[in-house]
Amino acid sequence: MTPDEDKIPFTAHLEELRRRLIICFSAVGVGFVLSYGFKERLFQILVHPLTQVMREGDTLIFTGLPEAFFTYLKVAFLAGLMLAAPVILYQFWMFVAPGLYEKEKRLLLPIVFLSSFFFIGGALFGYFVVFPYGFQFFLGFATEHIRPMPAMKEYLGFAAKMLLAFGVVFELPLVLTCMARLGLVSVDFLKRNRKYAILLIFTVAAILTPPDVVSQFMMAVPLMVLYEVSIVGARVFGKPAPEPDAGPQAGTEDRP
């Protein structure tokens, strides 16, 4: 049985892509509207790891008149994006579904669930584990004559980048397991290239995190653990390697 996409014209693919993009944007819009009613509370939750390690009397500031307003808008958009993440992931996998075989389509629902689970799990790891230690490290440079005064806009940009980065990189086990399931990689390949993967992990962590060793290690170490989880997932769910042909048995001869 061949994939369905061999029977669908290119224009139909474009129409399907347009329809699914409209659904994704609509989901983000609905999430934004729902989140905007709780924008102040959401920002308090987002800034909580920072305020917990700030000294008494310190507070966030905004330096431009519209800065607070646009910061709340961005907070609502970020929350709406997080709420719409399952819908976006579902639409993505359903778009690629026609190119899959029937047995592969049965994996779509677990993949959508696991994609959402790993994304949200990565963002929560960044919020509850990385943020407190990272902010404590940064604020540790304050002295009697140097007082930190973080701005709302700068904090939101930093927090949003980190949360999205951790959410995306925590998809690593799912991506590698799916690649193994499709036969693109194997357990032996992942083991053999472990040292290159570690180098790539530290490079990605250095790019996505602030330029300090603490944040880099706090992203790289979980990624190395997730890489090992990917190897386990590839072993359990990966495509089995084809058995070599046995050929003619030893000691036998072809007869006319």
pLDDT at 38: 93
3-class state of residue 131 by DSSP: helix
pLDDT at 77: 92
**How far, in Å, CA of 198 to CA of 150, rounded?**
34
Of 148, 133, 150, 154, residue with least CA distance to 213? 133
Q: Which residues contact 147 (CB under 8 A, 6 or more apart)?
A: 58
Q: What is the mean pLDDT of each run of 10 residues along the chain (256 residues)?
A: 56 84 94 93 93 84 89 92 85 78 74 84 91 86 84 90 89 89 87 92 87 82 92 83 52 45
The answer to whether 159 touches 82, Cβ cutoff 8 Å, is: no
Enter the DSSP assignment of 64. S
pLDDT at 253: 45
Sign of the Cα torsion 205, 210, 214, 218 reads negative
What's the CA angle centered on 198, arms 195 and 204, to 5 degrees? 145
**How far, in Å, CA of 85 to CA of 159, rounded?**
18
**How far, in Å, CA of 25 to CA of 38, rounded?**
20
pLDDT at 251: 46
3-class state of residue 224 by DSSP: helix
Residue 192's CB is within 10 A of a number of other CB atoms, namely 11
Of 126, 60, 104, residue with least CA distance to 118? 126
pLDDT at 57: 77
Q: Which residues contact 179 (CB under 8 A, 6 or more apart)?
A: 185, 234
pLDDT at 255: 43
What are the residue boundaries of the structural domains of the chain, listed by start? 4-142, 171-239
CA distances from 83 to 35, 61, 119, 151 (A): 9, 28, 12, 26
Of 218, 223, 221, 220, residue with least CA distance to 49? 218
Of 69, 83, 92, 71, residue with least CA distance to 32? 83
Q: Which residue has the tokens 């902010």?
A: 135
